[in-house]
Each structure stands twice: as structure tokens, then as C-alpha cells.
Amino acid sequence: MPPEGSVDLGALLGAVEAASPTQGVDALAAELARMVGATEVSFLIADIAGGTLVRLARATPDGQAAREREPGDTVPIVGTAPGTALRTQLVQVVPLTDSLGASVYAPVTERGEAVGVLEMLLPYQPDTETVDYLASAAHALAFVVIADRRYTDLYEWGSRSAQLTLEAEIQRRLLPLSYTCEAGQFTLGGWLVPATAAGGDTFDFALDREVLHISITDAMGHGVAAALLATLGVGSLRNSRREGLPLVDHARQANEALHEHASADQFLTGQLFRVELATGRVEVVNAGHVLPLLVRNGVPAEVQLAADAAFGIDAGTAYRLQEFALLPGDRLVLLTDGMLERNAEDADVAGLLPELVDLHPREVVQSLTAAVVTAARGRLEDDATALVLDWYGGPDQRRDASSGATNDRAST
């Protein structure tokens, strides 16, 4: 039977606050183990490459970390209970065959960012109340990781199953801190798989009170030169956005920055979007980039946009502001040309989209990029990048802050 009383979130967070940033997960795990009588508590962090979860640390009720991550101590996302918890955002309760206990896997997620999974071994079968407590504790753990990773590389190290090249490291720093965002009128997810020699792709987003800003860019070339070119472009776009300038000025200043600081033969394609939350009206600048796809009523079609010059080609380019409208239920898909490269043609990204309509954008972008990697037999000639925006429209809406859009908490 579970211990009497309930999980005290205040005590959990108090234990974390008293610990070093490198010990926050262990402190929460040890306190949670004491509260619910768990014999083991582990945190499985999502690998940045996608496809696996990595056991970061394991704590026992005496407050000691039983072990740090061991080489190869990973869990596949597909076909496992922890992976199902991550993908469905539902707590998974798996009865143990050799005892009366159960393994419990709760998604560690904040605003759609699937940080990982909280794994607990209980010597009893948890009731509904206990499952709800554990779901809340997992949600609290998401805040702990997001806060503590500002101070330590522990979580970054734990989420890497392979070394990054220098250009891939630079490229990763250009991406938003979270690849997913759930808000009232939309859900957004992005994903990037770098080529063997990273090709300088980026995506970015920022939410204001009335507007969602999105960008996707692709720097010419590969390696460190492409990463530095992307740094220049993203830095300029963020600076213009934070100054509150009109969208065409974002494009103009990025073009001027590349002309002033990049080589004459370097350029950056990109698309810049400004989505009005109240109306669904979209302003867009297209700087020579791959056309976006709009999935409406399950049918994908290209958004027909006129193409202006890529950033850095012509100092005098006058970028045009174009518009279209999103309707409730629409899905907007942004890609880089690596998603359509010749050695990945068999992936048929547009053809896959109708099969993915019921998936969360976080899963859609990973499914699309995985299809491209598979079609390219694991050797990408260019970065594969996708960003998906699901548009709900209307007034700001409430959402379940612990497990996405659903109120169901457990599956057995």
C-alpha cells in the first residue's frame, strides 16, 4: 500500500532549492522516493538526436545517487513504456511480474517541451491519487531541469549520445532554448538533424502578447563557415525583432549585415513570419527559401509566395511583405532544402503529412526528419530541418499544464 499522506510539492521544491544545480534532480528524486515509498527513482533525459532516452541518474530513498549515467544506458522511445509516456504524455503504470509492485513512468514536460521521463519503482500498485501525485512531481521536475541547466552542462552532457562537431555546436547554440511551445492559439514544434558536415540551418520563434514570430534559415555551404554565416543572420534577425521593427526591416537589416560582414559569395535563404494571435493573419517575407506547406482538412499544398533575393546577394533588395490567413485546424509546415535533397527523395515529405495529422507537432517534425535520414541511408548531404505550427485560433485557451492537451493522466 502507498504511504499515508500526499506528495508535498513545496517540500520537493524546497529540497531542490537547497541543493546545488548539479544535484537538483537527485535531491528531488530522493525526496520523492521518501514520500511515496519508492525503492528507486530515475530521470531519463531525452537525447538531442531523438529516438532514445538516457538515464541521467538513479536515486535511492537514502538520498544517495546509486549511479551516474553509464555508457549505453539508454532506452528506445519506440516500443517501450518510458517512450510511450514521452510520446503520449500519459503516465504509464506497468505491474511487475515478480512482485506486487509496479514501475511508473511519468512525462517530464513543460509547455510541450518533452524534457524526459520520471521513472519510479514502487513496491505496491499505485491508486489514482498516487498517480496524480507522481504526474505533478514529474511536472515539477521539468521546472527543475529547465532552471538548473542554465548553470551546468550536466543535462547537456547527459542528453548527448554522440559528440558534436564544432560547427554543430555553434549551430545548436543558434536554436531556441526549447524546440516546442504550447500556447492558447497554437502548438509549435521544430527539429533539426545536422548533415555529416553541418550545413548552417536554423529555426527560431518568440511569442509576444499579440504576435508569434517565426523564422527558418539556411546558410550556404557547410562546416564552420556556414555556422558562422548562420550566426550573423540569426543575430541580426533577433536584434531586429527585439527592437520591435516591422518584418520587412528584419529582412533589410539581415541583408545589410551579411553584405557588411560576410564574404561576397556567401548568402542565407530564409522565411520570416509574423502571426497575429487574435486573427490568424500571417505576414511573411520570403528570401529565396523553400515554399512552406499548408495542411488544411488533411490535404497539404504549397503556400504560393513570391521569392525575393536571399540575404547577402543584393544590397539593394527591397523585400516584399506578403500575407495569407490561417484557419482553425490548419497546420503550417516549414522546411529547409535538406528535407528535399536528391538522396532523400524517397522520403516524400508532402506525401507523409496526411498520415501524421493526428500527431503532436513535436512528433511530426521528428517523424519527417527521421524519414529523410532513413531515405538518405543515414548520410545527409545537407541539414534536415522542419518546423510545424498547429493553429487553433480564437481567444486564448486553457490547456493542461502537466500533460499537454489531454486531461487523462494514466495508462496501464
* Residues 177, 284 within the same domain: yes
Q: In this structure, are 190 and 106 located in the same domain?
A: no
Question: Does residue 190 share a domain with residue 275?
Answer: yes
Q: Are residues 217 and 92 in the same domain?
A: no
166-216 pLDDT per residue, tens: 999 999 999 999 999 999 899 999 999 988 788 899 999 999 999 999 999
Residues 174 and 211 reside in one and the same domain: yes
The model's confidence at residue 60, banded by pLDDT at 50, 70 and 90, is: low
- Quick one: 101 and 193 in the same domain? no
- As separate numbers, helices (DSSP H) first and strands (DSSP E) second, the chain gives 10, 19
Angle in degrees, CA 157, 163, 169, rounded to 5: 80
Domain presence at residue 396: no
> Could you list the residue range(s) of the whole structural domain that residue 100 is in?
9-158
Residues 153 and 174 in one domain: no
E strand or H helix at 216, and its extent? strand 211-219
The string of pLDDT tens digits covering residues 349-363 is 999 999 999 999 999
Closest Cα partner for 359 from 315, 308, 298?
298
Considering the domain architecture, whether residues 18 and 121 belong to the same structural domain is answered as yes
Specify whether 222 is located in the same domain as 196: yes
145 & 252 share domain: no
Q: Which residues pair with residue 216 across a beta bridge?
A: 203, 271
Domain CATH number, residue 60: 3.30.450.40
Structure-block grid coordinates of residue 61: 530513498
305-322, pLDDT tens digit by residue? 999 999 999 988 999 999
Q: What pLDDT is recorded for position 64?
A: 52
- Tally of domains within the chain: 2
Same domain? 380 vs 238: yes
Looking at 158, 191, 224, the residue that finishes a domain is 158
- Same domain? 46 vs 83: yes
Model pLDDT for residues 32-56, shown as the tens digit of each residue:
888 888 988 989 999 887 888 988 8
Map residue 204 onto helix, strand or coil. strand
Question: 159 pLDDT band (50/70/90 cuts)?
Answer: confident
Confidence check: pLDDT of 400 > 60: no
Q: What is the value of pTM for the model shown?
A: 0.87
- For residue 45, tell me if it sits in a domain: yes
Q: What is the mean pLDDT of residues 102-125?
A: 93
Q: How many CA atoms lie within 13 A of 403 on its CB side?
A: 26
Of 102, 127, 158, which closes a domain? Answer: 158
Domain end (from 158, 192, 214) = 158
* Residue 247 within any structural domain of the chain: yes
Asked if residue 20 is part of any domain, the answer here is yes
pLDDT band of residue 100 (cuts 50, 70, 90) is confident
